[in-house]
Structure 1
């Protein structure tokens, strides 16, 4: 039985001032008349029904997400009591799926889970769904954790990398063993990775069975397992929503704040990767718009605004209907949303969250 966890608890700080804690990137309409989380749900509905899709979010955003995703059962909106990063979030959501759906399994059927971000762009949706189904079959048959690795088209320093354990040519959409995960590299290292043909971008998308993920937690993250066992007992009360959040709050606060990559994926011996080219972009900063939207003759990207420009090149301008004038500037990101205005050099967009945290 294929299910999904859509991770929707981020604040999207690098997309300020468009994104705010109350209305983060996943609730913005960036590429169409749909929000990014709506696009994510619609992308998987052909292979996973709405009652098998779970949304992992927080108390601040849960009402907006319920309003946006009215077809998702309210009890499938998982409200995390605290931000403890993805190891706790994915484990906790998997516990809820196990408690809710295990009794519906037939014969030797297993619960497969695909973990997706709520704010990624994927252009080839048909191929994406085919790969998800292939990954789920691999996870079920061989008790492994499967991740999707993006075929790199440039030496990107903003992504983690996956080294594939294979001496031959790596073919797209096939399953390979993972040799190791690599941290975000410097430019020279990234160039070597891409040139070797043995490295893929880490997309942060995972597929596993409930049984496999908890076996990995048992071996590699014992302290998380102890907390999971306490929460598992409380789930027998069949609470949902904020009632459940309050019930497990004291347990949740005990989790170490650590990502599933650092806590589990980097050390597990049963990880597989499927290299894909699905038109993926994690839209990690405003610079990603350079790769998505067409540019005018001066190389400027202009969204939701009117721009007067003179000797202005290679800028990204996003407005809220106001008129913006550019004179003699280049390589800037200019964003206006209400009373908030951002003007940043393109090379510094990864640092936007630093300025709003002051």
Structure 2
């Protein structure tokens, strides 16, 4: 899944160039890293990227090895339940009842071998009729992730799930960490096509009704032509996430806890986990940063040899980009979306 609005890393990211197309942790884009990671298990013919028309151009540029028909262009954003139902149905026209792994294009994983082994185990369990999710063993009381409660937590073993939990406050997250039987909900799912459609029929029948109407069109078209032909029907999908639609209700969910150095890079404050900090705990990427009495800052540029200087600045995000300059307290980064809304209304950005 490679959509997104390009908001969390603005001004580095835009609608046309969202997070997955950025080179944040290395000299490769995140989507390039994701594709190369999964090539340890499948080849290019078995990789499908679901995106939108605006971002499809950038994805084709990043992954030129991918066939045109392996890029699924969604005509609108109707959340992850619709994206998974639609994308899975598209894949099923090439293979009867395929086993499908749903991944995000913007996650980082350090232990690739461990990740691939967990997917192999998940495939075996999915082919027995389960929906399998990878749950990440928590390393801190993180409030930015949902959690899954397990009966017992055994790394890289099939575990039974008790319930899916929403993003907690700090005290609750600390309780989860100390309990030892909670994992972060990574949003990675493995299932057979018939299995996910049966569960959608139980819990969100609207999706299956829409899919049944879409199937004849999906069967005969691909690419932007398909996107245009399904637009009206696609908008009849109820807007709901796959977690709310299925995962929190289904009785056939299994979880494989993993410890693979996973990071979903949710925003600027994720970056200190990815980089070696300087002597004052600053993160610096692609910038010549000179400072006096400044610490705990995140300083990034997408310009060559950008000079950035600070005096007496603490706990700030400073971004010097071709799209604009952002200076923001690290505790206020969630307001970037609000800022972009205002800029859009003023027609400063599109």
- The CA distance in 2 between the partners of 1:54 and 1:46, in whole Å, is 15
- Check conservation: 2:12, 2:323, Cα contact below 8 A: no
CA-CA distance at 1:299 after TM superposition: 1.2
If the length of structure 2 is used for normalisation, what is the TM-score? 0.95
The residue aligned with 1:11 is 5
1:271 matched to 2:253: yes
Pair 1:55 & 2:39 matched: no
| 1:328 paired to 2:312 | yes
Match of 2:198 in 1: 215
8 Å Cα contact 2:276/2:283 also seen in 1: yes
Matched, 1:248 2:230: yes
CA distance in 1, matches of 2:156, 2:197: 26
Asked if structure 1 preserves the Cα contact closer than 8 Å seen for 2:41 and 2:116, the reply is yes
User: Equivalent residue of 1:100, what SS?
Assistant: coil
Match of 2:133 in 1: 147
The partner residue of 2:118 within 117, 131, 135 is 131
- Alpha-carbon separation, structure 2, partners of 1:203 and 1:12: 20
Greater shift in the superposed pair: 343-352 or 127-136: 343-352
The equivalent of 2:151 in structure 1 is 165
Q: CA RMSD in A?
A: 1.0
Q: CA deviation at 1:233?
A: 2.3
Output the CA distance in 2 between the equivalents of 1:255 and 1:339.
34
Q: How far has the Cα of 1:339 moved from its partner?
A: 4.9
Q: Which residue of 2 is the match for residue 75 of structure 1?
A: 69
1:70-95 per-position Cα deviation (integer Å, ceiling 9, x unaligned): 11111010000111011000100000
* Residues in 2 aligned to 1:325 and 1:126: alpha-carbon distance in whole angstroms: 41
Question: What is the CA–CA distance in structure 1 between the aligned matches of 2:168 and 2:222, rounded to whole Å?
Answer: 42
| Mapping of residues 21-40 of structure 1, within 5 Å | 21-40=15-34
- Are 1:64 and 2:58 counterparts? yes
Q: Which runs of 5+ in 1 are unaligned?
A: 1-6, 103-109
Residues 91-240 of structure 1: matches in 2 within 5 Å? 91-102=85-96, 111-141=98-128, 143-166=129-152, 170-236=153-219, 238-240=220-222
TM-score in terms of structure 1 length: 0.93
Verify the 8 A CA contact 1:14 1:351 in the aligned structure 2.
Answer: no
Distance 1:318 1:269, change over 3 A: same
Q: Which runs of 5+ in 2 are unaligned?
A: 343-350
- Report deviation, 1:257: 1.2
Describe the SS at the equivalent of 1:14: coil
